[in-house]
Amino acid sequence: MSDLTLHEDGSAAMEVRARGALLFRYVVVPGTAGKESPRPYVHPLRSLAGDTLTNFRPNDHPWHHALSFTLNQVSGVNFWGGPTCSRGEGYAWRDDHGEQRHEAWIDRVVDGTTVRLAHRLTWNRGSRVLFTEERSLEAAVDLAAGAWSLRWSGRLRNVAGETLSLGNPHSHGGLAGSHYSGLQFRGARELLDDHLDPTIKVAAEGGLEGVPAVHGVPARWMEWHGQLDGSLHRVVIRFENLSGPLPWFVRRNYPLAAFPTEFDHNREIGPGGLLEIDHRLTFTSVP
C-alpha cells in the first residue's frame, strides 16, 4: 500500500492523503473574487499530526490564499490581490487585477512515498496573456520521522510581446520593507505566538534568529518553530530556496513567509524570457 494517495475532487482540486488522512488540497479552479486576483492555492495543508497549518482568506488580508505562488505587480497588473501600492499614492483599490488560469494537467503521479502534480497555466489580464507557466508540486513523506515535504517549482515564459516589469510594494510602491511577492505561505494565526516561550521562534541559516535578523537577509533556508492551539502540537516548518540564498520576507504577528521574486528593485523579463522558481517546504511534527 502506498503511503500517499491522490484523489480528484471534480475538476476543481486534487487531494493528497497520507495513510487515508488529508495532507493537502490543491485547488486549481479557485472561485475567489476578482479583486483577490484568483489563482491556484493549497489549503488546507496539514502536518502529519493532523494540524492545519495554513490560513485561507484571513480577515486582515483576504487575498492571502494560504499557500500560493503569485507576483505582486507585473507592468501595472496586480496578481497579488487587494489594493495596489503605487509610489506617491500608497495603497488604493484599483481595477487592475489579473488572474491565473489552469489550462491542463501534465502529470498526476503517485509512487509509494511521493506524489507529483504538474500542470500548465496562463497569467491573464482579461483576454490578454502575459505569462504561460509549467508548474510542478512534488510531495514526499517520511512517516517514521513525522515529516513531509512539498517541492514547488515553476517555469514562467513572457508571452506578452514586450518587456514585463516585476515589482513589489517596496520596489514599485516605495513602501520600505514590504517585499510581498513570489511563493507565499500564510500560516495558522497561532503558529508563532510565543507566549514567552523562547523555543517558538523564527531562525535562518548562519545562526540568525528573530524577525529583525532574518527578514531581508540572504540565506538558503529559514525555519519557523511553532505550536498549535488546541492540540498543543509543535511543528518545525523549513522554507528552502533550492537555487541558492534568498532575501527572506517574513511577518510574525500575522504569520507569513514569502520567497520574493524581486526585492529592492524591479525585475525585468524580456519578450520570450523566463522566470524560474524552485522551492521546498518541509513540515516536521515535533514530539
- Could you read off the pLDDT of 171-214 as tens digits, one per residue? 988 888 888 999 999 999 999 999 999 999 999 999 999 999 99
* Cα gap 160→198, rounded to integer Å: 49
Give the model's pLDDT for residue 145: 95
Phi, psi of 249 (to 5 degrees): -110, 125
- Could you read off the pLDDT of 229-276 as tens digits, one per residue? 999 999 999 999 999 999 999 999 999 999 999 999 999 999 999 999
Is 61 inside a domain boundary? yes
Give the model's pLDDT for residue 165: 97
Is 228 inside a domain boundary? no
Is 207 inside a domain boundary? no
Buried b / exposed e along 155-167 (16+ C-beta atoms within 10 A) = ebbbebeeebbbb
Is 115 inside a domain boundary? yes
Give the model's pLDDT for residue 106: 97
* Cα gap 147→143, rounded to integer Å: 6
Across 207-234, average pLDDT: 97
Give the model's pLDDT for residue 70: 97
Domain of residue 89 covers 4-194+259-286
- Could you read off the pLDDT of 79-137 as tens digits, one per residue? 999 999 988 888 999 999 999 999 999 999 999 899 999 999 999 999 999 999 999 99
**Residue carrying C-alpha cell 503558529:** 191
Give the model's pLDDT for residue 175: 87
Report residue 10's pLDDT band, with 50, 70 and 90 as the boundaries. confident
- Which residues are CB-neighbours of 257 under 8 A, at least 6 positions away? 184, 185, 187, 222, 224, 239, 248, 249, 250, 251
pTM: 0.96
Is 225 inside a domain boundary? no
- Could you read off the pLDDT of 18-39 as tens digits, one per residue? 999 999 999 999 999 999 999 9
Q: Count other Cβ atoms within 10 Å, centred on residue 52.
A: 17
Is 227 inside a domain boundary? no
Give the model's pLDDT for residue 28: 98
Is 208 inside a domain boundary? no
Q: Is the pLDDT of residue 9 over 70?
A: yes
Q: Is the pLDDT of residue 1 over 70?
A: no
Q: Residue 246 is which amino acid?
A: L
Residue 99: all three cell numbers together: 488572474
Give the containing element (helix H, strand E) for 204.
strand 201-204
Query: For the chain, what is the domain count?
Result: 1
Cα-Cα end-to-end distance for the chain: 26
Cβ contact 175:85 at 8 Å: yes
Is 221 inside a domain boundary? no
- Could you read off the pLDDT of 135-177 as tens digits, one per residue? 999 999 999 999 999 999 999 999 999 999 999 999 988 888 8
